[in-house]
Structures are given as C-alpha cells and as structure tokens.
Chains A and B, each alone.
Chain A
C-alpha cells in the first residue's frame, strides 16, 4: 500500500497541466470555469489541438493513435483535463465508437474512421435508446433488413445527444426478430446524410438543445458499415458501455466544481460576511469534499485493479463510481443554488448574447446565469449511462450475488 504517485507520475501530471495552460484557448477555458457549455467549434478546436500533441485518444490501441499510458496515467490525464477544466473530448467518438471499431471493426473501417474520429473530422452520435427501450435497451425495435448489399433501416432512436451536429450515428438495430432479444441485434454505422433520416430537437428543462429524436425511414446503409458480425451487436454494446462507466465518475469535474463553489462562496455575502464564513455552509462544503475524496480513493482502487484486468471487462465496482459520481455532481449544483440564492431566478438563454451581438447586463452576480439551469440539467446524470437504479441492480446481482 502506497498512496503516493511515483515521481514519474507526478512529473507526468505537471507535464499535462503545463500543456493545458499553454494550449487551451483562454475563451474556452473561461466558459468551462463558468460552467457554460463549450460550443461545437470549441470542442472541435480543442480536439485538434490534442490530436497534434498525440493526446487525442489516449485510451486507444497504440497503432491507432493511443498513447500506451497505463491506467494510472490515463486516470491522471482525465483528472487534469476535467479539473483544469478543459472540454472533454466528444465521448461518442473517443470513448464509445472508436474503441469498438478498433476492437471489432475490419481493417477498412479502422483505416477510414479512426483517424477521422481522433481529429474530430467526423462528429459521432449514439443511437441506442428508443422511446420504448431505455433501461431495457435490448428490447429495441429499429429494424435493419438485408436487401442486396444494403441494410434498409426503419425505426426511431431518441435522446440522441448532440445529434444535431452529427455526421455519423452508430446504432443498435434489430436484424433478427426470431431469437432471444440480445441475440438479434447488430451494430451499424450510419451516415447522417443518408436520405430518409430526420432529426428533431428535444428541448430539455433547462432550455437547452442537447438531445434529439432521430427517425429512420427506409434508410439504405451499405453492408460494409456493419461492425463485426451480424447479430453480435449486443456484445459490442456491452464492451462500449463498460468503457463508458469507468469514465462516468467524473471526479475531476466535481473537484473543479467544488473549487469554484469555494471561490464563489467567498465572494457572495450575506449581510456583511461571505457565505463561506457561515459555519453551516462551510460544514456542508466540507462534507461534500469528504465524499469526493472517498470517491477519488475508490476510483484509484478501481484504476489500480484495472492494470490486472482483461480489457473491455469492466469492474462491477464501476457502478459505485457511477452512482456516487452522479450524486456528488448533483450535490455540487444544489450547494451552488444555495450560494446564488434569489439570483437563481432570472432565466437568460445561453446563446442569445452571441446571436444578437449584444447581451443584457446580468441580474445579480455575473456568474449566476448557468447555476439553476445546471441544477436542472444535471438531474440527467443519474438517468443516462444506466440509471442509478439499474446500477444498484448490478451491484446487488454482480457483486452481492442477490
């Protein structure tokens, strides 16, 4: 047992931080600190900067651009990225479809898609969920029927995050309806420009547009866009979701949010004293920091154990990370609501200022606008990526044997 990082690991952390300080454009950094959303261009710009450095896709096999870092360095990199804070890479490419193609795709697919994902030349979105298939993903109904050298796809996906920008969507589709539901699913890559695809926006309660419905009406997809084998898509999906869950604790994000909370609570005053000096508030903040420290230690234990695990076989303990990580992120938004107080009330659509070239002066403190929307929006964290209820089912079954 040794809690310390090695001198090399500490040097690595310095190197990563130094790179972020030098290379992340200041305007993007400012948005991230305020808790506003980076734009599409911000995410693309940053990904290309990372790609130049060779850090676009650290988690991939080295031959396709991976860095070959061990799990500890992977962890340090993400921790620095999130807590700096810099925009996270578009996860649908880097953490989802990329590793699936690298592991199960054919050579042509790897050659064509992987470099374009690393450089964010193609924007990917995830077409798994359907209106009738959320937690019970395997019940999905979108059909793909073979017709010569094409699949003809009909059906609907929903909750498609940032699908409005997407060039490509990776989908789970039903290719055999006669077998057990998990055994008739295939993994298809679909060009969003194909005729028959319609994207309809869904507005979330915070007023933002980040999710969409995607409709498929006789969409013809070349068979060479099938990943791996027909009807084996569920296995690839499990591999993909496993990768998603190790990432989902977002310890670095919560670290940054808590740091910011401390700063803002020192600025905002009740009567003559900063909120931070209110002992009740300070204790709540301390309690949350303790929870986060515990989660960070748990995450490090999972990371250390990962060094000895088979790739793509996630530790069921990652469900702990998902549950606690989401609860802590949500708790940071609740505490910030307390700091902002009555100034949570005004609603200022995020994009308005940019579009019209002018902006109304803020109401209350200038950091107040995203506080309530983030509180509302972050309720999603305990719903997506396998809801917290589903994660507890996993712990009960896979760890406790109940």
Chain B
C-alpha cells in the first residue's frame, strides 16, 4: 500500500504545475478562451513540447509510456487551472481508442501527429436519444464496396468543432440498442458530407453537433472490429471518467482553497467572516467532501486499468458518484460562502463551480452511476 508518486511522476507533476502557474492564471485563461477554437493553440503546442500529449502512449510509439496515474497527474493540474484545451478529447478519448482498438499500422500512421500536437481529435459517439447509454448508437454504417458510408447525427461532440479528425461510432449491424454491431471509423473533419455546428458549453469549453450525410470512408478508416467496438468504447469511457474525476478534484481543491482564503480576509460586522463557527463548519464539510473525492479519484485511477471490466466499471462508477456529490457540496458551498462575489463571471470561483457541475453531467451523472453500481453488486466485495 503506497500513495506516493514515483520520482518521474513527481517530476511530471512539477513540470505541468509550473507551466500552468506561468501561463495559465485566471486572466490568461480568459484570453485563451477568446481564440476562435475556444482554447489556445499556443498552449497546445506547449503541451506537445513538454511531452504531455505523449503521456499515455508506449515509448515505441513515441510516447512516454505513462498509465492512468500519469493522466491523473495532468488532469488534476488542468482542473486547478480550468484548462480549456482538448486534452480529454484528443489524448484520453481518441488516444485511448487508438491504443486499445487500432492496428499497429494505424497507430504508426496517426499517433505521431497526435503526439506532436499537429492533429487534434474528437470522439463523435453521443446521440440525441442515447443520453448516457454507450450502447445506444443509431448512426448507420453501410458497406460500400471495400469501404463504408456513414449516415446520421452525433450530439455533444466535445471539441468537435475544432478537431481535425473525428472518431465516429456507427452501427454496422443489429438494432439501435444492441451491444453488438457497433464500429469505429476515422473521419477527416473536412470530408465531404460532414457538417459541424459548434457552440460554447456552460463551462467555457466547446462542443459540436455533427451531421454525417453519405460520408464515404475506406477500409483503412475502420478502427478495430467493425461489429465489436463497444468494449473498447466502454473501456475508454471509464478511463475518461477517471481522468475527469482527477480534473474535478483539481478544481475542487482550488475552489476550496479560494474559499478558505476568502473567509480569512472578508470582513463583516468588524470581524473576518471565518470567525463565524457556522462558516468554519461548512468549510470543514467541504474539505471532507474534497478528500473523499480525492480518495475515490485514486481508486478510479488505479482500477481504470483493471483487466476485469466489471471490477473496473464498478470502481469507476463509484468514483463518479462521489465526485458528483462532492462537487455539489464544494461548489455550492464555495459560492455561498463568497456571497454575491461568488455569483460573478469576473471572479474565478463560479467558473470552477460550473466546470465541476458539467463534469457531473458528462459520461453519466451521479444518479446514473449510482444505479450502475447498485445493479452490478457490492463495491466492497474484494
């Protein structure tokens, strides 16, 4: 039993935190968000130069051979700075699918551009009717000679508007809610028949509705088995949840610190408001919620690599529940204890609150995952 980081991991943590301390304070973030992409292309290059885009890939493929712990380190730091760049979309989601499902030739062709920061990816999986059900896929993929033709609508594609390439899930066989018959296809964002409608999201990031109208792809675009992609999608979703849990912990940690700082400086009735016991207790409750979330983020991080999918999913879902609940306690508390100031766009705390809230709504909210854990049986059976 050991919760310490290795030497390399500590170095990684220091270097990300230093980069963000230098170039990603709250004012810088406002500027980064004003780029048409909704994030800073320069920061993206900086991540590439520092090897952050290489984190989860094997050394043979140009990566640094990190695992979920390294991803956690990066995401937690990103949460603390409310980073806008599409790391989750490109490295965790698309990168994860390439790692788990793509062939060696495909990886050799695509990973250098991803790791080098030249090509950004988005995962086009969600659909209007699917909500949080990963197996609910209505977009159709029809065989066309050697290749395929894709048809249908994808919803809430994170950073889908600025991505160079999309990984699109589509139904190759079976009914809309069947577990079998789902394939993954690499689609150039500029391909004929692809249209994208981008929009800002509540947390200052971006997403897109993607419409596929007779989009033709060749056989080389198929990632993994064209009828059996769901297990890889589920695995990557769990890895993404673990990453989001770490990001949420980074955001909650910062929110909590800002709040405690505020309690020590804001004066009313001639005293600092931190002298009121009810506020001390609320800050203590927030702290407890934060630490419980941190613990479950560790659990999700360690278990996201588990071989047994049931064991993995149970732990990850448990963590998502905890993060959702803690996020509410910490986020609502932070705003309340700041009074009116917490309600303003100009001050950072509300932005952390919004990001943590949106993390709860991504890949299944606390209630969705609570039901999943309840269905799967006890989390405590070891």
Interface string of B121-139 (1 = CB under 8 A from A): 0000010110111001000
A205, A373, A382, most chain B CB atoms within 10 A: A205
Min distance, Cβ B138 to any Cβ of chain A, angstroms: 13
Nearest chain A residue, comparing its CB with the CB of B128: A364
A372 in contact with B197 given A134-B268, A383-B340 (CB within 8 Å): no
A342 in contact with B278 given A203-B344, A376-B350, A376-B353 (CB within 8 Å): no
CB of A382 within 8 A of CB of B199, answer no
Complex: A132 Cα to B325 Cα, angstroms: 33
Complex: A92 Cα to B375 Cα, angstroms: 52
Nearest chain B residue, comparing its CB with the CB of A136: B268
Tell me whether chain B's interface is mostly helix, strand or loop, or mixed: mixed
CB of A346 within 8 A of CB of B340, answer no
Complex: A280 Cα to B350 Cα, angstroms: 30
A269 within 8 A of B: yes
CB of A379 within 8 A of CB of B335, answer yes
Complex: A380 Cα to B332 Cα, angstroms: 10
Complex: A136 Cα to B342 Cα, angstroms: 17
CB of B362 within 8 A of CB of A389, answer no
List, in ascending order, chain B residues with CB within 8 A of A204's CB. Answer: 343-345
A343 within 8 A of B: yes
CB of A280 within 8 A of CB of B371, answer yes
Residue from A269, A270, A345, A363 in contact with B361 in the complex, judged by beta carbons closer than 8 Å = A345
CB of B353 within 8 A of CB of A205, answer yes
Nearest chain B residue, comparing its CB with the CB of A271: B133
List, in ascending order, chain B residues with CB within 8 A of A388's CB. Answer: 336
Complex: A269 Cα to B361 Cα, angstroms: 16
A338 within 8 A of B: yes
CB of A344 within 8 A of CB of B202, answer yes
Complex: A132 Cα to B266 Cα, angstroms: 9
CB of A384 within 8 A of CB of B340, answer yes
List, in ascending order, chain B residues with CB within 8 A of A347's CB. Answer: 199-202
CB of A205 within 8 A of CB of B131, answer no
Min distance, Cβ B127 to any Cβ of chain A, angstroms: 10
A207 in contact with B339 given A135-B269, A270-B133 (CB within 8 Å): no
CB of B343 within 8 A of CB of A380, answer yes
Min distance, Cβ B252 to any Cβ of chain A, angstroms: 16
Complex: A346 Cα to B126 Cα, angstroms: 14
Residue from B133, B155, B278, B343 in contact with A392 in the complex, judged by beta carbons closer than 8 Å = B278
CB of B207 within 8 A of CB of A346, answer yes
Interface string of A124-147 (1 = CB under 8 A from B): 000001001111100100000000
Complex: A218 Cα to B335 Cα, angstroms: 34
Nearest chain B residue, comparing its CB with the CB of A344: B361
B365 within 8 A of A: yes
B176-192 with Cβ < 8 A to chain A: 177
List, in ascending order, chain A residues with CB within 8 A of B344's CB. Answer: 202-205
B240 within 8 A of A: no
Min distance, Cβ B238 to any Cβ of chain A, angstroms: 17
Classify chain A: how many residues form its interface, as a range. 35 or more
Residue from B136, B278, B343, B351 in contact with A389 in the complex, judged by beta carbons closer than 8 Å = B278
Tell me whether chain A's interface is mostly helix, strand or loop, or mixed: mixed
B209 within 8 A of A: yes
B149 within 8 A of A: no
Classify chain B: how many residues form its interface, as a range. 35 or more
B358 within 8 A of A: yes
A341 within 8 A of B: yes
B279 within 8 A of A: yes
Min distance, Cβ B50 to any Cβ of chain A, angstroms: 29
CB of B155 within 8 A of CB of A364, answer yes
A132, A337, A344, most chain B CB atoms within 10 A: A344
Nearest chain B residue, comparing its CB with the CB of A269: B129
A348 within 8 A of B: yes
B172 within 8 A of A: no
Complex: A103 Cα to B126 Cα, angstroms: 60
A361-385 with Cβ < 8 A to chain B: 363-364, 372-373, 375-377, 379-380, 382-384
CB of A342 within 8 A of CB of B131, answer yes
Interface string of B99-110 (1 = CB under 8 A from A): 000000000000
A360 within 8 A of B: yes
Min distance, Cβ A131 to any Cβ of chain B, angstroms: 9
List, in ascending order, chain B residues with CB within 8 A of A203's CB. Answer: 344-346
Complex: A334 Cα to B126 Cα, angstroms: 23
Complex: A205 Cα to B203 Cα, angstroms: 10
Nearest chain B residue, comparing its CB with the CB of A393: B278
CB of B199 within 8 A of CB of A363, answer yes
B3 within 8 A of A: no
Complex: A133 Cα to B77 Cα, angstroms: 35
A345 in contact with B358 given A364-B128, A383-B340, A384-B340 (CB within 8 Å): yes
Complex: A202 Cα to B132 Cα, angstroms: 36
CB of A344 within 8 A of CB of B129, answer no
Residue from A135, A334, A346, A375 in contact with B199 in the complex, judged by beta carbons closer than 8 Å = A346
Min distance, Cβ A186 to any Cβ of chain B, angstroms: 22
A135, A204, A346, most chain B CB atoms within 10 A: A346
Min distance, Cβ A126 to any Cβ of chain B, angstroms: 13
Nearest 3 Cβ contacts at the A-B interface = A205-B350, A203-B345, A136-B268
- Could you list 8 examples of A-B contacts with CB < 8 Å? A134-B339, A270-B131, A337-B365, A363-B199, A364-B156, A373-B202, A376-B202, A379-B336
Other than the known A204-B344, A376-B357, A389-B278, what 4 A-B pairs have Cβ atoms closer than 8 Å?
A: A139-B268, A337-B357, A345-B207, A383-B336
